[in-house]
Structure 1
């Protein structure tokens, strides 16, 4: 058994590293204004580290007792699993919009506790590499998602006999389909008006946009409808 002073130094190292790694996970959530941020993740990570430390060293006096069985993972497994599940469930179910959300934050809280377990048991390399890779993924994935889900820019041109509120009616149809109007231009020639609507939309199947064209073409006073890609990117 190591001397008490050596154990104290090891404990300070482990608790400090758990604060650092838990703080990194919390920082990722904090920058996205999530409910569980820097302080919460540090507390969870430190709790896991302390729990693992207690599991490993608090029962050393009973290691050689003939009637005792020593299992350093038992306390962490029983207490950590229950508390970790409780925290995760609370984050997932808490929603002001009556919708299930918070999966990433709940998973991060569980990860923070497991990282604390790893540090508390002396697995410094494993804990550090895990947190580093998770932070890289959490920072990099949103950028990748933005590229994958880059909005399409289209323009719809329709020719119609001038009628009040026609533009508002067509704009409502586009809005119902989740198409965001960015610009509108009109050119009148006696009683006939040519209107060009530029809009952006999430990646959709062309057939869905064709349904929009067919719906607009059936509106009274609309003579023709044309859909094409916008030149603005």
Structure 2
């Protein structure tokens, strides 16, 4: 036990201290990676492990150089490590995907960035800080995810197109129906067909996954002057 403490608390970078820090980094990367893997994210278990270990290696190199090459004693050990924070943005950007007007992967991109910082902290021997950091990250990804889904309803974007006769083209009755069905309106478009004396009302809306689309269509069909109704997912 005393030998292990000496390795963990040592300021000198040796193969023993490097191995210990790599193992700790592997463990912490696994914790966050497993959480992302359960959510079927593009950056999952292996990605987070590699980011954590890679960041640890960079930090070890940054500390090792001035310790080993005495002529570089005035060098800044944080200079190489700082490039990880800026460079990790490329991986984070790769985890962000856009599906039409919907964007996914922002949370995973953030977890990638955080794991890079955790790996640097482990490489610098800041074990307590690393453990606290990963604990807070896992709390944010699990407990706060449940909190967010409970108090903030997840919505998908849809386009509602309502064609009505010209004399019945009032937006307020449609808004009343949408409000009744707990539909959030983002924008409204208007298009008039002079020849057919009809107006097309286009609504970009956010709907909950539990909403009954068929019921929404039936309510809109009951509005005076309705000619046609269409509801589609935005791709």
Normalising by structure 2, report the TM-score.
0.59
Q: Deviations over 1:32-66 (max 9, x none)?
A: 00000000000000000000000001342333x2x
Within-5 A mapping of 1:96-107? 96-97=99-100, 99-107=102-110
Per-residue deviation at 1:95?
3.3
Query: 8 Å contact 2:13–2:60 — kept in the other structure?
Result: no
Alignment CA distance shift 1:117-1:150 (3 Å): closer
Per-residue deviation at 1:8?
2.0
- Structure 1 position 95 matched with structure 2 position 98: yes
Q: Deviations over 1:51-105 (max 9, x none)?
A: 0000001342333x2x762211111112x1342111112222x435475431111
Q: CA RMSD in A?
A: 3.5
Query: How many corresponding residue pairs?
Result: 163
Alignment CA distance shift 1:7-1:112 (3 Å): same
Give SS of 2:14's match: helix
Structure with greater Cα Rg:
1
Unaligned runs of 5+ in 2: 1-6, 155-173, 183-206, 209-217, 227-235
Unaligned runs of 5+ in 1: 152-172, 181-200, 203-211, 221-233
Using the TM superposition, name which of 83-92 and 35-44 deviates more: 83-92
Normalising by structure 1, report the TM-score.
0.59
CA distance in 1, matches of 2:42, 2:153: 28
